[in-house]
Amino acid sequence: SENTPIDLIIHTPGGLLLAAEQIARALKRHPSKVTVVVPHYAMSGGTLIALAADEILMDRHAVLGPVDPQIGRFPAASILKTVEAKPIKDVDDETLILADVSKKALKQTRNLVFELVSERLGEEKGGELATTLTDGRWTHDYPITVDEAASLGLPVVPNDHDTFCNLMSLYPQAASARPSVQYVPAPYPNRPSANGRRDG
């Protein structure tokens, strides 16, 4: 219902920009209050989703991250810097194509962040935040703490309560042989590992 507030827990290392963009735009259009809860981290696409919220509840040790676009294995901003550092005749065609894609990706991502935050922050501060989060000044895994997020103008509320961590512990993640990031409740439960043996 349009009158129902949304509380969304985000715990993610990131992922596909398109999916994060669709979720963020849907949250932004929701007429009632949207609260995002970050118990541990919401990196990259997770941060993009959080930017659409009216309020971001973060554990004191939780972090957000930059949303600078990645082209394959490399940050778009770094691809552009590499091309700018060489004479054009020394740059191969594939790198020039990657630089063109990088330029478009940086512009698109900056515009998206601006769209999500400018209504709340205004054009000037919204533009500054969009640039800060997308221009590649940090590595992609740079942790934006609660205090830094607040200083950037995000609607952050420190949350030291265990309510959301307790809720997450009710939904254990399946064991996987593939490396991934997991929420691990404390104390760590004795459960089967990917090879069928019990851990702990």
Q: What is the CATH number of the domain that holds 34?
A: 3.90.226.10
In a domain, 49, yes or no: yes
Higher pLDDT, 174 or 5: 5
Residue 200 pLDDT greater than 50, yes or no: no
In a domain, 25, yes or no: yes
Residue 174 pLDDT greater than 90, yes or no: no
In a domain, 1, yes or no: no
Distance CA 12, CA 74 (A): 20
pLDDT, one tens digit per residue, over 82-131 is 999 999 999 999 999 999 999 999 999 999 999 999 999 999 999 999 99
Question: Is the C-alpha dihedral spanning 72, 77, 80, 82 positive or negative?
Answer: negative
Q: What one-letter code names the amino acid at 113?
A: V
Percent of the chain with pLDDT over 90: 78
Cβ atoms of residues 54 and 155 within 8 Å: yes
Distance CA 34, CA 77 (A): 31
In a domain, 181, yes or no: no
Report the domain count for the chain: 1
Residue 173 pLDDT greater than 70, yes or no: no
In a domain, 104, yes or no: yes
In a domain, 36, yes or no: yes
* pLDDT at residue number 2: 84
Closest alpha carbon to 109 in 170, 21, 24, 27: 21
Cβ atoms of residues 150 and 160 within 8 Å: no
pLDDT, one tens digit per residue, over 156-171 is 999 876 777 677 677 6
Domain that holds residue 118: 6-169
pLDDT, one tens digit per residue, over 132-143 is 999 999 999 999
Percent of the chain with pLDDT over 70: 84
Q: Six-digit token pair at 142?
A: 């740079």
- Cis peptide bond upstream of 187, omega within 30: yes
> What DSSP state is assigned to residue 131?
H
In a domain, 184, yes or no: no
Cα dihedral: 185, 37, 144, 27 (round 10): 140
Cβ atoms of residues 35 and 8 within 8 Å: yes
In a domain, 76, yes or no: yes
Q: Six-digit token pair at 181?
A: 């990031």
Reported confidence tier of residue 194, pLDDT bands at 50, 70, 90: low
Q: What is the mean pLDDT of the segment spanning 35-47?
A: 96
Mean of the per-residue pLDDT values of the chain: 89
Residue 196 pLDDT greater than 60, yes or no: no
